Amino acid sequence: MMAYERLRVGLAGLGTVGGGVCRLLEQNAQVLAMRSGKEIVITAVCARDRDKQRGFDLGDARWYDDPVALASADEVDVVVEVMGGSGDPAKALIEAALEHRKPVVTANKALLAVHGLSLARLEERYQTPICAEAAVAGGIPVLKALREGLAANRLDALHGILNGTCNYILTEMQETGRGFEDILREAQQLGYAEADPSFDVDGIDAAHKLALLSAMAFGTEVCFSEVYVEGIRKVSAVDIAYAAELGYRIKLLGIAKRHQDGRIEQRVHPCMVPKHAPIAKVDGVFNGVVVHGDFVDKIVMEGRGAGAGPTASAVVADLIDIARGNTSPLFGVRATLLSAFRGVPLAQRVGMYYVRLMVVDRPGVIADVSAILRDEQVSLEALLQRGRAPGEAVPVVFTTHETNEAAMQRALQSIAKLDAVLEPPQMLRIETLT
């Protein structure tokens, strides 16, 4: 390799992503130097266990037990934070790096979703960049697309599959007919789900990512607390089968929209989406993001959303940008120019709904349900009821025309109180995506 100036990296975190970064820098050293104009080398590391066998060579990198000390080390030009966690020590590390005028690369969506605004203000104060391509959608360069490629457009809506674990589970349920718990155990055995899967299956991971996408797309202050979050634990194989019969697939989506009055809608929940929609075809552990811009119309991005390789690819792409001197503010504009976040309550959603009831098969039940829907001005689009079992439990499925979320919730509460309704109604929102 010809002689290049060195970009010296302090790496905090040597888990799955940190290991992937080490392997990528070693394996692709020559092509990275050609593309960045610098030799990117790890000169300092920090992790919990010095003695753990990790299967990759750290060379002559100096070891630090204190992440903040790594940030101020003389042999470090740029800090890579892949420790995770929504607070310290990751937050303290990034703050220290910025104070020492050292660029930061992070994959930490939880930290940025919760503390992104304060960190963006520090970024602006110290004129030192934070790069975070790896924080959302792994190997898909979606943040770069929003911040740079689509910068000429007004963006008013985006939606996406932002968690590979949930998408794998729902895909397997769709293809095999097995239940949630069975597929979840399989995902844990394959390493797609953690021993405690709540962060993924309860929608929190996707909500962190959606908050970042929303802030970047719409130029607002990041506001994770205003994301409505609902996971996939209640999605059943029965609902997936009915969805298929009705022409839909069930996906956990993150949805963000800018309303005409400037308010922002942010929600993560299972959705029934038309089979022909691009997002319906994103299966397995893959992620997908669809963005609508006024001059480009619709942009669809798909790829692997997690794992050592895709995430390391995004981390190192940020390192290349730093080596080139090609960086932008964290959220695409200076922190002082971000508009204050004004949210839209879920109760104001207008859309279609799918509802499944378990009822006693007897005369008058459908009439009682229809009367409640009529009183809330909810109009039925389709009704499925098959077979007869007088006096026994039978499923009744219906979909609605567009209606208001608040009205739909009131109707479901009243329906649940009917003597003939044996279980809490199961409801899914239908998104007529294009």
Enclosing H/E stretch for 218: helix 204-218
User: Which residues are identified as catalytic?
Assistant: 209
pLDDT at residue 2 above 70? no
Beta partners for residue 11, in sequence order: 45, 80
pLDDT at residue 403 above 90? yes
The residue ranges of every structural domain in the chain are 5-135, 143-304, 347-430
8 A C-beta contact, residue 329 and residue 124: yes
Percentage of the chain modeled with pLDDT above 70: 99
Enclosing H/E stretch for 171: helix 164-176
Predicted pLDDT at 56? 77
pLDDT at residue 83 above 80? yes
**137 CB contacts (<8 Å, ≥6 apart)?**
160, 162, 209, 287, 289, 301, 303, 305
Please write the tens of the pLDDT for every residue from 262-289.
999 999 999 999 999 999 999 999 999 9
109-126 and 204-218 helices, crossing angle to 10° = 30
Does the domain at 5-135 match CATH 3.40.50.720? Answer given as yes
State the pLDDT confidence band at 389, using cuts at 50, 70 and 90. confident
Please write the tens of the pLDDT for every residue from 167-217.
999 999 999 999 999 999 998 998 888 889 999 999 999 999 999 999 999
CA–CA gap between residue 242 and residue 279 (Å, rounded): 19
Helices (H), 85-128: 90-99, 109-126
Beta partners for residue 288, in sequence order: 161, 302
Predicted pLDDT at 297? 95
Joined together, the tokens standing for residue 382 give 């389709």
Please write the tens of the pLDDT for every residue from 109-162.
999 999 999 999 999 999 999 999 999 998 899 999 999 999 999 999 999 999
Choice among 70-79, 305-314, 333-342, 405-414 with the minimum mean pLDDT: 305-314
CA–CA gap between residue 252 and residue 271 (Å, rounded): 6
CA–CA gap between residue 407 and residue 409 (Å, rounded): 5
Residue labelled with tokens 């937050």: 91
State the pLDDT confidence band at 50, using cuts at 50, 70 and 90. confident
Asked if the domains at 5-135 and 143-304 fall in one CATH topology, the answer is no
CA–CA gap between residue 224 and residue 211 (Å, rounded): 5
Does the domain at 347-430 match CATH 3.30.70.260? Answer given as yes
**77 CB contacts (<8 Å, ≥6 apart)?**
6, 7, 8, 9, 102, 103
pLDDT at residue 55 above 80? no
pLDDT at residue 53 above 80? no
State the pLDDT confidence band at 433, using cuts at 50, 70 and 90. confident
State the pLDDT confidence band at 396, using cuts at 50, 70 and 90. very high
CA–CA gap between residue 233 and residue 251 (Å, rounded): 12
Joined together, the tokens standing for residue 327 give 């960086």
CA–CA gap between residue 130 and residue 90 (Å, rounded): 13
Backbone phi and psi for residue 28, each to the nearest 5 degrees, phi listed first: -110, 25
Among 425, 351, 429, residue whose Cα is nearest residue 395: 425
pLDDT at residue 1 above 60? no
Q: What is the mean pLDDT of the chain?
A: 94
Omega before residue 89 within 30° of 0, cis: yes
pLDDT at residue 305 above 80? yes
CA–CA gap between residue 288 and residue 302 (Å, rounded): 4
Please give the class, per CATH, of domain 143-304: alpha beta
C-beta neighbour count of 194 within 10 angstroms: 13
CA–CA gap between residue 400 and residue 398 (Å, rounded): 7
Joined together, the tokens standing for residue 411 give 């109707």
Backbone phi and psi for residue 110, each to the nearest 5 degrees, phi listed first: -65, -45
Quick one: DSSP state of residue 387?
S
Omega before residue 424 within 30° of 0, cis: no
pLDDT at residue 320 above 80? yes
Predicted pLDDT at 319? 98
